[in-house]
Structure 1
Amino acid sequence: MLDTLYAQVGTAISLVVVTFAFLKGDEPERVGAGAFALGLLASLLLQDDGRLSGPQWGVMSVDVVMLGVYAALAWKSRRSWPVWAGALQALIVMSHLLTVVDLRPPLAAFYAVINLASYGILLAIAAGTAQAWRDRRAFAPE
């Protein structure tokens, strides 16, 4: 799970962004960050490290639910970051679908797409939180 330095650094970055969203973001940022944190924990619990080929159905189902959360946020909120997060999450789900239809992408490419898209989602959440924080400070009465 968190046995490599790369996994530990990625989890630390995730925790920093989620904490920033909870402390300085509005409701959409908190929902998105909370969903990301729950999805991260669920994926860590459901992944099968011993399985090197074929779909991982548990992780795929978590990613499909996450796509639904970001799509709902994009639909209901007037912010732009959920659209980016949803697009990157759709890329993750499509990577899972490649393994379902048995196209057998190289395992390193599969994990690279998932990890880079996850960092993109974190970047979108952080940018949305920073914008919400800036907007709230700009309209605050003095």
Structure 2
Amino acid sequence: MLNIVYAIIGAVFMVGMALFAFLKGGRSERIGAGAYLFAWFATIVMQEGSGFRGVPLGLFLIDLSLLGIFAAIAWRHRQSWPVWASGLQLIVVMAHIMALTGQAVSASSLYTIMNLTGYLIIVCIIVGTFYAWQERRAAELIGRNS
């Protein structure tokens, strides 16, 4: 029962972030939120197929591709939120590498790392969206006053 409550809270948080980014964010925030939403759905589908056992290679590839997208956004758009999101996503990728190389680490600690960094990445996207929205509003006000 409690797992369902956590899942619902996480889903509401995720969808709220995506709506905020799509409505108020700039191009990079929309790309980041869309990529993160896609990775989230792909991860759910991948976990359902594996029966939630272990850390499948597919999840590693999804997280690795999301790291590449965040790094590309950071490189192209020169904002600070994708740099933080890339760093957090790199922690997730390193956790996958630890599991795939057979390090003595419990699966629950790896999933905790992945979940906590996931929420922090959402916060990065929200903060980036807020600043992009405020910069756009300030530019509109300056444009009207000129």
TM-score between the two structures when normalised by the length of structure 1: 0.93
Deviations 1:16-37 (A, max 9, x none): 0010000000000000000000
| Whole-Å separation in 1 of the counterparts to 2:80 and 2:103 | 33
Structure 2 stretches of 5 or more lacking a match? Answer: none
Q: 1:50 to 1:25 in 2, by over 3 A?
A: closer
Match of 1:111 in 2: 111
| Whole-Å separation in 2 of the counterparts to 1:92 and 1:50 | 17
Match of 1:102 in 2: 102
Alpha carbon RMSD of aligned pairs, Å?
1.1
Matched, 1:49 2:51: yes
TM-score between the two structures when normalised by the length of structure 2: 0.91
Match of 2:26 in 1: 26
- Equivalent AA in structure 2 for residue 104 of structure 1: A
Matched, 1:122 2:125: no
- Equivalent AA in structure 1 for residue 76 of structure 2: K
- Equivalent AA in structure 1 for residue 75 of structure 2: W
- Equivalent AA in structure 2 for residue 49 of structure 1: G
The 4+ residue runs of structure 1 with deviation greater than 6 A are none
- Map 1:74-89; keep pairs closer than 5 Å: 74-89=74-89
Equivalent residue of 1:4, what SS?
Answer: helix
1:105 CA displacement: 1.0
| Whole-Å separation in 1 of the counterparts to 2:126 and 2:64 | 22
| Whole-Å separation in 2 of the counterparts to 1:129 and 1:30 | 9
- Equivalent AA in structure 1 for residue 51 of structure 2: D
Q: Which has the higher helix share?
A: 2
Larger Rg: 1 or 2? 2
Matched, 1:39 2:39: yes
Tell me the matched-pair count: 138
Structure 1 stretches of 5 or more lacking a match? Answer: none
Deviations 1:76-114 (A, max 9, x none): 012100000000000000000011110131122111100
